[in-house]
Every structure is written in structure tokens, then in C-alpha cells.
Structure 1
Amino acid sequence: MRFELDVLGGSVEDVVKNAGGRLFDRARAGWDVTVLIPKLHDGDVRPLQILGVRGVDLEAALTGPPRCPAAYLVAASLWVKDRRVRALVGSAVDSGMHTVMMWGEQCPLELTRRLVLESREMSSAARAFKAHAVAACGSDRTPTGFVENFRSATPIGQAALHLTSAR
């Protein structure tokens, strides 16, 4: 059984620029990473393939069979725009059964109180693959920095596990 991460973003470029390192590192660690994008076209998937993840149209995913990943990574801007994404993420946070991470400046106030700011240093391989994926998006800006920033909520059982193992 493999862990699953669902990434909900407004565009492939937004996902790659803000979370490409995290996606690559999770995929490399054996996770099944699925990026859900509104109006995803076949031409948009190359940057995702570079990172080792797959892309799915958001509409198809939200109207298809229910998904139950171990973790969600969500663009705050998409959360603001789409009530279905708000419902999905809100229930995931409320359940305490999923890790929920969010990127972006528009982090909603009701979630800001429940999500902790987290900075993750990307592996050197993730930085290299992210740079290639950003270039494949057609961006002329190469990503800089070694860190990606998210707000996150960890499931109750995992939080207890982390506290226990830290002793």
C-alpha cells in the first residue's frame, strides 16, 4: 500500500513553482502524487511528468468516485475560488485523518488558526527537477532558493507519534 498525495492547484505553473520540490521529493519517496488542475489539457502535463507525478482534470476528480488520499496540498487561491475545494479541504482538516498543507498568500483566516507555518528544504535533486519543470512551463524565471513554504495541519495520530518519537 502506497501513500497518496492529492495536490489541488489553479494551474500547472502555479503548482510547479510553489510546490514542485515537495511533489518531486514525495514521488521519489514512493508516494502516488496526483495533481488536480481545472481544465487540464494533455499539453500541460509535461512539467508534471518531469517531477514524476500525474495530472488529472479537477472537475473529473471532483465529480468522479470519492478519493481518500493520506494528504492534501492546496493552493489557497483555489480554496478561495471553489466552494467544492473549500468543502473538501475543510472536511479533511475537521476529520483529523489527513495531513493538509496549503501554499499562497490568501490563506483563509478560518484555516490560518488551524494550520502551522512550515518551511521545507528541498533536496538537491528536487531543486534540479523543479528548475526543469518550471522551464517546461515556459517560464523564463528559474526558481531560486532552497525552501518551499506551506501552512500545514498534521493528523492527530501523527502529531502524537512525532511527539513520542522526539523524546
Structure 2
Amino acid sequence: MAVDTADSVSAAGGLIFDSIRAGWIVDIYLESLNDERALYILGARSVVLPEVFEFEHEWPDAVFLSAAVHDRHRGVQRLVAGCIRRQISDIGVWGGSVPGLDAEAVGEHRLSTAARAFKPHALNAAGLPPQVTNVESFSGGRRR
């Protein structure tokens, strides 16, 4: 969950790419939809953040989000609180901290060679400098 395409690609583009390549179903929720070319390069599509997330039977295995989205969106706050309470989802946050999660706990995703090849193109399409690190870091750590 992110503010926009640039936010999601810059913070979690490698994780998005590698998760899709591994066969996971990856839903990208954005506050504002804009040019989706960057996400298309990573193999993803996005939708607008819903007011309410309904995961009765298929609770997410992992939730990664921008702290800014958490601060501004009540539905995201409820989803994260539910994940913390149920302790069945991995949670990672970028760009700040989220109440209820250990801000000192750091989770990392080491980008595959393929992700390191595709992410610069996605960053460029999002209007960002195409510089890629080998690791994407998230606070909050793992909960399950």
C-alpha cells in the first residue's frame, strides 16, 4: 500500500517483482492512481485503496505499506491493527513507523538479479533516478 506508483516502486519494487515471479498474488493499493507503466514493468497492476478491506477467508500472508498511507487512511489502519491482532501476516513499513509495530525491528528483502535488472527501468518510468540497491529494508519486522 502506497501513496502512488513512485512511492511503491522506489520502496518495494524489488519485493513486488520477486514476489510476482515466485507466484504470489500481489495486490498494489494506491491512494492515487497515475501512470502505471512502472508497475507494468514489474509485472503488477494497481487499484485505489478501498475504504474497507474484506479478508474473511483469504487473510493476506504479508502486508507492506508506506507509513504515510497508514497515517492518512482509516481502512489501512484497521487492516494493520487486524494483522497485528491475528499475528498471521508479515508486516513491513517504509518511510516511518506504525503504532503497534517495533520500529527497531528491520526486515530486509534481498533483490534477485532479475529484480535488480527490472527495477531501474520501473524507477525511470516513474520519473525517479534509476539507482538500485541490493536490499530493500522495512521496519516493523515479521509478526508471525
**Pair in the same fold by TM > 0.5:** yes
* 1:32-47 aligned within 5 A: 32-41=25-34, 44-47=35-38
Question: Larger Cα Rg: Structure 1 or Structure 2?
Answer: 1
For residue 108 of structure 1, the aligned residue among 95, 98, 102 is 98
| Structure 1 residue ranges without an equivalent (≥5) | 1-7, 156-167
1:145 counterpart residue number? 133
The residue type paired with residue 70 of structure 1 is D
Which secondary structure state, in structure 1, belongs to the residue aligned with residue 18 of structure 2? helix
1:123 counterpart residue number? 112
- 8 A Cα contact 1:93 1:153, kept in partner: no
Equivalenced residues, count? 140
Q: Equivalents in 1 of 2:66, 2:30: separation in Å?
A: 10
Moved over 6 A (4+): none
> What TM-score, normalized by structure 2, do the two folds share?
0.87
| Structure 2 residue ranges without an equivalent (≥5) | none
Q: Equivalents in 1 of 2:7, 2:110: separation in Å?
A: 19
Q: Equivalents in 2 of 1:90, 1:24: separation in Å?
A: 26
More relative contact order in 1 or in 2 (CA 8 Å, sep 6+)? Answer: 2
Instruction: Classify 1:109/1:71 alpha carbon distance in 2 versus 1 (closer, same or farther; 3 Å).
Output: closer
Instruction: Indicate the structure with greater helix content.
Output: 1
1:77 counterpart residue number? 68
What is the deviation of 1:108? Answer: 2.8
Root-mean-square deviation (Å): 1.8
Identity of aligned residues (%): 33
1:158 counterpart residue number? none
Q: Equivalents in 2 of 1:119, 1:85: separation in Å?
A: 22
